[in-house]
Structure 1
Amino acid sequence: MRRTFGLRLGLSALLLLSTWGGAAALAPAAGADSAQELSPGLARALQRDLGLTADEARERLADERRAGETEKKAERAAGAAYAGSWFDADSGRLTVAVTGAQRVDAVRATGADVRVVEHSAARLDAAMKRLDALSAPAGVASWRVDARANSVRVDVVSGHRGDAAVRTFLERARAAGPVEVGTVAQAPSTFAAGTVGGDPYYTGNVRCSIGFSVHGGFVTAGHCGGAGQGVSGWDRSYIGNFQGSSFPDNDYAWVSVGSGWWTVPVVLGWGTVPDQLVRGSAEAPVGASICRSGSTTRWHCGTLLAKNETVNYSGGAVVHQLTKTSVCAEPGDSGGSFISGDQAQGVTSGGWGNCSGGGETWYQPVNEILGRYGLRLHTA
């Protein structure tokens, strides 16, 4: 089913397959010498969500690109002493944690700032794995490796820290390794929704959002549908079927595309920013800015807060290796695109809060989905 250009800003092929997109070519592709011009719509979005002027946004995106290029080199230089890394927006630099002073000079030579800490990333990851083996009660929202704190952080839903089951979980968590405990306002939930208006795709009466085009289809969230289920587009015409889906444990899926629908390497800007090309899937560092838009809430931006977090959604569905952001989302945004610059990052899984009062949202990294199903991202 083809859709005419005039129905929505952007390419008609994009509109068919990307019910929402988070891309904006705010920064150049890796290796470019100068930043692309910031569109007025994007400047407004970053000013609204991150409090940045156009000049500040342009400078930050250039800093983030350099930090992303430095991150892998610094990790290799640190070797077994590596203990994580993060981007600092105030300094515009990447900080890398290492255990002991032996690798400080080698890491600093890559262009990163260095912090000496007690626990290596390997030790923290091992503790995280032991926590993942525990059964979490509803009062425990999530847990992750926090490189800045050099520990595993467990977030408990406000008012539930005194629950007997929560206390037991925390005792077992502390026995697994270095743990600190925080509090969140609400329990996270997924962002699927019943049928409402907008520019969605549908699985039965569930509405979700398309993530990124791959050759042969698109990727999205696993909780939106199971393998074999049929998918229809914004106009209820048939698109294809879920070819693979995983939820809980993971939250990813991919859908085949046919019946006159096709894929393009573009995601929607919803009129806030121009529809944008996707040029790759280079992973952004913790601390980087990140944007998304969905079939419900359209375009919003925020900061990448943490990686490899285990989330205990309401209803008891536990999902591993999610990335946490300060970007808001609402029901119907599930499955949609998270993007940093012109690089695909992941598909929306769930979160808490809304885009009126604020909240946090997690996404499933796109490179994991591509690797799991042997897919190839459609890029410009």
Structure 2
Amino acid sequence: MPKRKAAIAVGGVAALGAAAFLLPNANASQDGASGDTSAAAPKVLKASDASDLASQLQKILGDALAGSYYDSNAKQLVVNVVSGDNNVIVQAKKAGAVVRQVKNSTADLQAAAKTLKAKATVPGTAWAVDPKTNKVVVTADSTVTGAKWDRVESTVKSLGSDMATLKKSSGKFKTFVSGGDAIFSQVQNGTVRCSLGFNVTAKDGSPAFLTAGHCGVAAKDWSDSETGQPIATVDQATFPGDGDFSLVKYNDANTQAPSEVNAGNGQTVPITQAVDATVGETVFRMGSTTGLHNGQVTGLDATVNFQSETDPNGVDTVNGLIQTNVCAEAGDSGGSLFTQDGGAVGLTSGGSGDCTAGGETFFQPVTAALQATGATLGDSGAGAGAGAGAGDQAGGGEQAGGDQVGGSADPSASAGDQAGAGDQSGAGDQSGATADPSATAGDQSGAGQSGAGDASGTGEQAGNNGQAGNGDQAGNSGE
């Protein structure tokens, strides 16, 4: 059997306006203060270096640290401290961070999250700590009305306005399992489609890839074409609960699985390390339905309550996710979230909205998925727990404007406003989107369903209620 080259098929779309994609090694370092380690003034940092510094300060400051975020305009790390101990402040400033004193400690914020879990776990809600406001931000989607809204609102009010805030989302929280053309699985009532995230090496040394957990729960065997034979089998899958990730092993042990993301327009980004997300940093997402989009990380350790696909009165709660304002749509599930300098950040889980109206999208942290599965990233050896200190590459700097990949010459592009996003002719059928270039836009299943991994045909299967639009998708609308 010839060796199969398994490219990361996460949506090779035509240029969407997110960036004129240049390779990460073209970046120039922007750490203007890194040469003076003794200076007390805040350092100018790349986002990846800010993440590394935040990890170091967590170890140094301990309970005195109440979160941190990256100020993309000033290019500085801002850390929250609850201790009035001058030594704590001095240490943080000497390390190069901007320090501000806040009221709520990490323990206080975690206690608030526990209260929300106990009293406000209803489908269509999510919460995460916002270090910029030093509060827990609770989001309720359009389905949270009546008694459910009253329940959530009263719980948030009981925590106090200085501890938690509540906002409304116009969309509906859902997993993005259907509509893509990257990886396919045939189930009883149709076809499940998701996006491949990152190629990895499994603990036993075999080639594999990571994708969303709800995809792995929905189906066991996966192909690189809609009607092709399976090429990979789910080894581990977590959803719901403590994450949304799957480890899927290639059936052929000789599969070549390069550690790179197909960025579309004939370009790829080498993925060299797994990194932890930092609030405020710019990140990029590739998905097989909507292609390349960018935005900012807005929260960490988020809890999302999806409507259960198997129980009309149930809820699928997922913990430990990354919250962003990057858009996504059905079929993008499992797709790559990464930094401009080749850091693997997350796997697309779900959210609200679309790439026309925007919305919130949540991602499974790659570092946590690697640690849980024992896999290592591609052939680079950057394995579990590589987030701490993994952002030291020179030349990975955030570009002015915060939305360029690899030093793009297009500083005007912004997250979620790319022309034609999701509705380009042949959006699901671009060169490089899968190992099977014959997959067409007409093969995509509906862009609006929940698709929480139910193989019974409620959210993932093609062939029901076909609808036009968003790439002329054929198949179920689901919602």
Q: What TM-score range do you get, normalising by the shorter chain?
A: 0.7 to 0.9
Shift of 1:228: 7.6
Q: In 1, Cα distance between the equivalents of 2:139 and 2:348?
A: 20
2:376 alignment partner, SS class: coil
Q: In 2, Cα distance between the equivalents of 1:87 and 1:99?
A: 18
Residue 355 of structure 1 corresponds to 355
Write the deviation string for residues 129-181 of structure 1: whole angstroms up to 9, x where unpaired: 3322345233x5211112121121111235856x2222223333554672221
1:247 aligns with 2:239: yes
CA contact (8 A) 1:156 1:184 kept: yes
Q: In 2, Cα distance between the equivalents of 1:75 and 1:124?
A: 16
Q: Unaligned stretches of 5+ in structure 1?
A: 4-11, 23-40, 49-54
**Larger displacement relative to structure 2 (360-369 or 166-175):** 166-175
Residue 308 of structure 1 corresponds to 301
Q: In 1, Cα distance between the equivalents of 2:133 and 2:290?
A: 33
1:119 alignment partner, SS class: coil
Shift of 1:203: 5.0
1:233 aligns with 2:224: yes
Taking a change above 3 Å as real, the CA distance of residues 299 and 159 of structure 1, as seen in their structure-2 partners, is closer
- The structure whose residues are more often helix, as a share, is 1
**Larger displacement relative to structure 2 (98-107 or 231-240):** 231-240
The aligned length equals: 340
Q: In 2, Cα distance between the equivalents of 1:278 and 1:297?
A: 21
CA contact (8 A) 2:238 2:246 kept: yes
Taking a change above 3 Å as real, the CA distance of residues 137 and 324 of structure 1, as seen in their structure-2 partners, is same
CA contact (8 A) 1:310 1:318 kept: yes
Q: In 1, Cα distance between the equivalents of 2:18 and 2:346?
A: 20
Residue 262 of structure 1 corresponds to 256
CA contact (8 A) 1:2 1:13 kept: no
CA contact (8 A) 1:21 1:337 kept: no
1:157 aligns with 2:122: no
CA contact (8 A) 1:278 1:379 kept: no
**Larger displacement relative to structure 2 (288-297 or 305-314):** 305-314
CA contact (8 A) 2:286 2:335 kept: yes
Taking a change above 3 Å as real, the CA distance of residues 96 and 210 of structure 1, as seen in their structure-2 partners, is same
Residue 271 of structure 1 corresponds to 265
Q: In 2, Cα distance between the equivalents of 1:62 and 1:99?
A: 24
Residue 330 of structure 1 corresponds to 329
1:141 aligns with 2:132: no
Q: In 2, Cα distance between the equivalents of 1:245 and 1:293?
A: 21
Amino acid at match of 2:251: G
Taking a change above 3 Å as real, the CA distance of residues 301 and 248 of structure 1, as seen in their structure-2 partners, is same
**Larger displacement relative to structure 2 (173-182 or 208-217):** 173-182
Query: Which residue among 274, 285, 288 is the counterpart of 1:295?
Result: 288
Q: In 2, Cα distance between the equivalents of 1:221 and 1:159?
A: 24
Larger radius of gyration: 2
**Larger displacement relative to structure 2 (248-257 or 199-208):** 199-208
Write the deviation string for residues 329-361 of structure 1: whole angstroms up to 9, x where unpaired: 111110111111211011100112222332221
Q: In 2, Cα distance between the equivalents of 1:90 and 1:346?
A: 23
Taking only aligned residues, the RMSD between alpha carbons, in angstroms, comes to 3.0
Residue 27 of structure 1 corresponds to none
Taking a change above 3 Å as real, the CA distance of residues 244 and 95 of structure 1, as seen in their structure-2 partners, is same
Give the TM-score normalised by structure 2.
0.65
Q: In 1, Cα distance between the equivalents of 2:119 and 2:5?
A: 45
Shift of 1:78: 2.3
Identity %: 31
Taking a change above 3 Å as real, the CA distance of residues 46 and 88 of structure 1, as seen in their structure-2 partners, is farther
CA contact (8 A) 1:203 1:229 kept: no
Q: In 1, Cα distance between the equivalents of 2:270 and 2:117?
A: 37
1:192 alignment partner, SS class: coil
Taking a change above 3 Å as real, the CA distance of residues 247 and 128 of structure 1, as seen in their structure-2 partners, is same
Write the deviation string for residues 12-55 of structure 1: whole angstroms up to 9, x where unpaired: 8342xx22179xxxxxxxxxxxxxxxxxx79x52489xxxxxx9
Residue 76 of structure 2 corresponds to 93
**Larger displacement relative to structure 2 (176-185 or 64-73):** 176-185
CA contact (8 A) 2:11 2:289 kept: no
CA contact (8 A) 1:293 1:300 kept: yes
Taking a change above 3 Å as real, the CA distance of residues 2 and 45 of structure 1, as seen in their structure-2 partners, is farther
CA contact (8 A) 2:324 2:361 kept: yes
- The structure whose residues are more often strand, as a share, is 1
Residue 317 of structure 2 corresponds to 318
Mapping 1:1-380, distance limit 5 Å: 13-15=5-7, 18-20=8-10, 45-46=18-19, 63-102=46-85, 103-134=88-119, 136-138=121-123, 140-158=124-142, 160=144, 163-175=146-158, 178-193=163-178, 198-204=181-187, 205-215=191-201, 216=206, 217-226=208-217, 229-234=220-225, 236-249=228-241, 250-259=243-252, 261-271=255-265, 274-315=267-308, 316-340=315-339, 341-380=341-380
Amino acid at match of 1:326: N
